[in-house]
Structure 1
Amino acid sequence: MQSRLLLVEDDPEIARVIRDMFLREGYEVTWATNGLEGWEDFRAASYDLVLVDLMLPEMDGLTLCKNIRWKSDVPMIIISARKEDEDKVQGLHLGADDYIAKPFSLVELKARVESHLRRWNRYQGTPLYESKTEFTDGLTIYWEQQKIKLAEKEVNLTTKEFDLLQVLAQNPGRIFSKSELYEHVWNNVDAEGLHTVTVHIKALREKLNDPTKKPLFVQTVWGKGYQFIGEPL
């Protein structure tokens, strides 16, 4: 079975060289030219490995790595001309598995990709999340079906409401700012969207019967954002 790679690179010359090399090796390659396009491609299909440049328009590579890691354990390799240790450390801290600096050898890049794919294929049989997760206070989330039940009764969520709940619940205890949630769920970095997040969080809480003052699932961390505090059974 062919491995599927997502390449996010805004330099067309570099991207074509990398893409053509992996195509010759029998890989399937999707090429995105900016961070937002890469995020949309990642959400739309399944990939075995992601190659990400740091200096990207629309959404930078570090933000893209962060968004991908909140959703998946897929291997990620940063490819960048920025060689500062701070950039490398930040990228690895945000979930990247490897970092290769430009200019690089195609032979070395291919070897690193193959190494990470071997490990990914070895552990791929264990999903990051089971098909459903049950929490105290009657909440059950069905990840693949993208639905929830509360006290055994199905609750109708909009796509955006479920996406918000998913990113919060799959990263319990982590505080997400409104801007991070807007970037992740709406694929946008527009500051005007922060009110949209507030409105959707309010609607989500109402459907979860989740009081603001004594929350069971979604807690407001004043001045910072929101976090999921539901306890799994």
Structure 2
Amino acid sequence: MPTRLLLVEDDPEIARVVRDLFLREGYEVTWATTGLEGWEDFQKGDYDLALVDLMLPEMDGFTLCQNIRWKSDVPIIIISARKEDEDKVEGLHLGADDYVAKPFSLVELKARVESQLRRWKRYRGVQTAEHKMDYANDLSIYWDKLQVYRNGQEIIVTAKEFDLLKVLAENPQRVFSKSELYQHVWNQPDADGLHTVTVHIKSLRAKLIDPIKEPLFIQTVWGKGYRFIGEPL
């Protein structure tokens, strides 16, 4: 299988040069021109590395990096004209693995991509595939099958409910605002659906038999959002 790259860049001249470079090297490249398009492409495909610009329409590169990292450990390299140290630090803090400032050398970019891919392949080679996760209080989540079990019985959840549970459970103890959850799960660039998040969290809690006052899995952090507090076994 060819190595698959996701390139998210709204400057067509830069994007074409970068895309053509890696196509010549035998990579498979998907090019997205907005942050939202890049996020949708990432969810649909199986990528080995993402190249992300920061100044993107619809969804900025910081948010895109954050969304990708919540979902996957795939390497992320930021390519941006913004050279301020604060931008570099924020990008790396949100999960990016490297930062290349524009204008950049194609030779340097190629070397950085190859370096990150070597690390990614080693990581995947030793990584234990966790297709199932068990938690205290008889909760089991099957990631590949999109199934949830409580007390040995399957809980029928909707696709959106599973996606909410997944992003929370894969980032335990991290507080997610309703806006972040809506943007991540519903792929929307703004926070118009905050009530939608509330409704789905309420439904998910009911199905998990997870009382709001003494939660076992999903805790409300008042004024901030929600976090997953299930204890892994």
Give the TM-score band, short-chain normalised. Answer: over 0.9
**Which 4+ runs in 1 deviate beyond 3 A?**
126-129
Q: Distance in 1 between matches of 2:219 and 2:129?
A: 22
> Is the 8 Å Cα contact of residues 2 and 28 (structure 1) preserved in structure 2?
yes
- Give the aligned partner of residue 124 of structure 1: 124
Correspondence for 1:174:
174
Structure 2 length-normalised TM: 0.98
TM-score, structure 1 as length reference: 0.98
Matched, 1:22 2:46: no
Counterpart AA for 1:172: P
Contact 1:54 1:79 in 2 (8 A): yes
Which residue is equivalent to 1:199?
Answer: 199
Q: Which amino acid aligns with 1:100?
A: V
Residue 103 of structure 1 aligns with an amino acid whose one-letter code is P
1:129 positional shift: 5.7
Deviation at 1:126, TM superposition (A): 4.0
CA displacement at 1:125 relative to structure 2: 2.5
The amino acid that maps onto 1:227 is R
Q: What is aligned with 2:218?
A: 218
Q: Distance in 1 between matches of 2:125 and 2:86?
A: 34
Match of 2:86? 86
2:8 is the alignment partner of 1:41: no
Pairing 1:105–2:108 present: no
Count of aligned residue pairs for this structure pair: 233
CA distance in 2, matches of 1:194, 1:14: 36
Following superposition, the deviation at residue 127 of structure 1 comes to 4.3
Structure 1: how far apart are the matches of 2:128 and 2:65?
A: 17
Q: Compute the displacement of 1:204 (Å).
A: 0.4
Matches within 5 A, 1:47-62: 47-62=47-62
State whether structure 2 residue 7 is matched by structure 1 residue 7.
yes
Distance in structure 2 (CA, Å) of the matches to 1:25 and 1:149: 45
**One-letter identity of the residue aligned with 1:136:** A
Measure the CA separation in 2 of the matches of 1:59 and 1:129: 31
What CA deviation, in whole Å up to 9, does each residue of 1:65-101 have, x standing for no partner?
Answer: 0011111110000000000000000000011000000
Q: Give the drift of 1:123.
A: 1.4
Cα distance change, pair 126–72 in 1 and its aligned pair in 2 (3 A): farther
Letter in 1 for 2:196: T
Is the Cα–Cα contact under 8 Å of residues 36 and 189 in structure 2 kept in the other structure? no
Q: Aligned partner of 1:55: which letter?
A: M
Return closer, same or farther for 1:128/1:18 CA change in 2, 3 Å cut-off: farther
**Contact 1:179–1:189 under 8 Å retained in 2:** no
Task: Quote the Cα distance in structure 2 between the aligned partners of 1:59 and 1:77.
Answer: 17
- 8 Å Cα contact 2:183-2:191 kept in structure 1: no
Deviations 1:41-63 (A, max 9, x none): 11111100000000000110000
Q: CA deviation at 1:122?
A: 1.2
Q: Structure 2, unaligned stretches of length 5 or more?
A: none
Percentage identity across paired residues of the two chains:
75
Distance 1:48 1:100 in 2: 18
In 2, are the aligned partners of 1:7 and 1:51 still within 8 Å (CA)?
yes
CA apart distance, 1:117:
0.6
Equivalents in 1 of 2:191, 2:120: separation in Å?
A: 36
CA pair 127-183 structure 1, distance change in 2 beyond 3 A: farther
